[in-house]
Structure 1
Amino acid sequence: MTLVVGLGCQRGCEVHTLLDLLESALAEGGIERHRITALASIDRKSDEPGLLALAAALKLPLHCFNAAQLALYADRLSHKSVVAFAHTGCYGIAESAALAVAEHLAGGPARLLITRKKTAQATFALACAG
């Protein structure tokens, strides 16, 4: 099974903030961290130091899609953020990216296993496929 963590964050979000969110959401969902296949976000975050540090710390690839690719998932989101749309062109980064990357890696349909979890600086979602 392919499990992909989708993440959105504010610029300058620290790696420990992302890791805390990831670990608490996985613990709440009863998912062991070693089962995660990849991390996902929007392409404008592909150089975000906190996301890159998280990917390195977890030894996971970070896959990023553009807003047009993520916008295709709008009807499958648990929450549509007008603020996210205004800034990025898609209604939700964490959920959209998790779904997009899970489907890309698995070559088939994905679903949200853990819907959007939000802190002041970051969002998390978990999608599965296969």
Structure 2
Amino acid sequence: MNAPAALRLAVGIGCRRGVSADAIERAVRAALGAHGFGDIAIVASIDTKRNEAGLLGFCERHRLPLHFFSADEIAHAPRTTLSRHARKHLQVDGVCEPCALLAGNAHPLIVPKTIDCDVTVAIAPARRTFASAIR
């Protein structure tokens, strides 16, 4: 999923259990399309999503590195939009925004939380380099 500009992006993704790779792709494209720039350097989510087939499939399909952050790491990220769902089910204030900020080692967000069905996406500049393997 490359866009014309050279800006490297960190994409934070939150999703409900069982969401498909196609649903994640649609949500990411919607978030990117609204701003029309950048090249995805890293995708990140909370470590409880480590076995989500849709998230893994999306990243494998596009050969994107995937990094997971613990709830503790997310708790220490810069403050972002509060998500009642994330608080109730994952005990964190949010997933996509803090994961984008942590993965990119950047602040502020370029694209704050967007919601497409059961997927949330936020985008930050990527100022950190991760290995290209999914972890």
Q: TM-score, normalised by structure 2?
A: 0.83
Distance 1:97 1:14 in 2: 20
Q: Which has the higher helix share?
A: 1
Structure 1: gaps of 5 or more residues: 104-108
Q: Is the 8 Å Cα contact of residues 41 and 126 (structure 2) preserved in structure 1?
A: no
What secondary structure does 1:112 align onto?
coil
Match of 1:47 in 2: 51
Distance 1:54 1:88 in 2: 22
Distance 2:91 2:53 in 1: 22
What secondary structure does 2:108 align onto?
strand
RMSD: 1.4
Q: TM-score, normalised by structure 1?
A: 0.86
Distance 1:69 1:2 in 2: 22
The one-letter amino acid paired with 1:73 is A
Match of 1:62 in 2: 66
**1:19-43: CA deviations, max 9, x gaps?**
01111110111124xx110100000
Percentage of matched positions with identical amino acids: 32
Moved over 4 A (4+): none
Equivalences for residues 35-114 of structure 1 within 5 A: 35-73=39-77, 75=79, 77=80, 79-103=81-105, 109-114=106-111
2:129 counterpart of 1:123 = no
The one-letter amino acid paired with 1:120 is C
Shift of 1:86: 1.6
Distance 1:129 1:20 in 2: 21
What secondary structure does 1:37 align onto?
strand
